[in-house]
Amino acid sequence: MTEKSIVIQKEDVNNVYVLPSTLGESVGLGLYAAKQFQKEDIICYYTGIQMNGREAASVKQRAYLMRLCKNLSIDAGPCLEMSARYINDNSDKSKLNVRFQKEPELFRAAVIALKTIEKHEELFVSYGKQYWKELSIEKTFK
């Protein structure tokens, strides 16, 4: 599992890697732990192009857009090397193992372990119901 399918930010190389998701071919790529993490460890950061509210509202492809606070969003869509953009949602809540901690003053969100994460385990975060609603996708949460 050491082969990387894409190049990621050099500061994340020792922590994570990207391969096809365990959720299936239709999901695409997923992000995996390159080492064990303990609960509350910072794994990596979600970053992207900084945008004000008006700029964010005009983004057509919104899948990688994260609102950090009023009038500040980041878009990781064009940033293929940004590792955290490959973290998938999992409708099985028992599989969620990371959360985003927004840090608007630093223009990013930390990816924090919710529990011990084993080496080679895929990372999953809840995107939230609003994310799926905006994409007009009905998602069942277990």
pLDDT in tens, 66-97: 999 999 999 999 999 999 999 999 988 999 99
Distance CA 135, CA 142 (A): 19
pTM as predicted: 0.84
Sign of CA dihedral 35, 44, 2, 94: positive
The domain 10-47+83-129 is placed in CATH, from the list 3.20.20.10, 3.10.180.10, 1.10.3720.10, 2.170.270.10, at 2.170.270.10
- Which of these, 47, 41, 42, lies nearest to 9 by C-alpha position? 47
CA-CA distance, 97 to 113, in Å (whole number)? Answer: 6
d(CA 28, CA 118): 21
Kindly report, residue by residue over 64-74, the tens digit of the pLDDT.
999 999 999 99
- In this predicted structure, the answer to whether residue 10 has a pLDDT above a threshold of 90 is no
Q: How confident is the model at residue 142 (pLDDT cuts 50, 70, 90)?
A: very low
What pLDDT, on the 0 to 100 scale, is given for residue 141?
Answer: 45
Contacts of 28 (CB under 8 A, 6+ apart): 20, 21
Tokens of 21: 């998701």
DSSP summary character for residue 6: S
DSSP-assigned letters across all residues of 26-53: TT-EEEEESS-B-TT-EEEEE--EEE-H
Are 38 and 69 a contacting pair, CB within 8 Å? Answer: no
Q: And the tokens for 55?
A: 């700029």
CB of 42 closer than 8 Å to CB of 112: yes
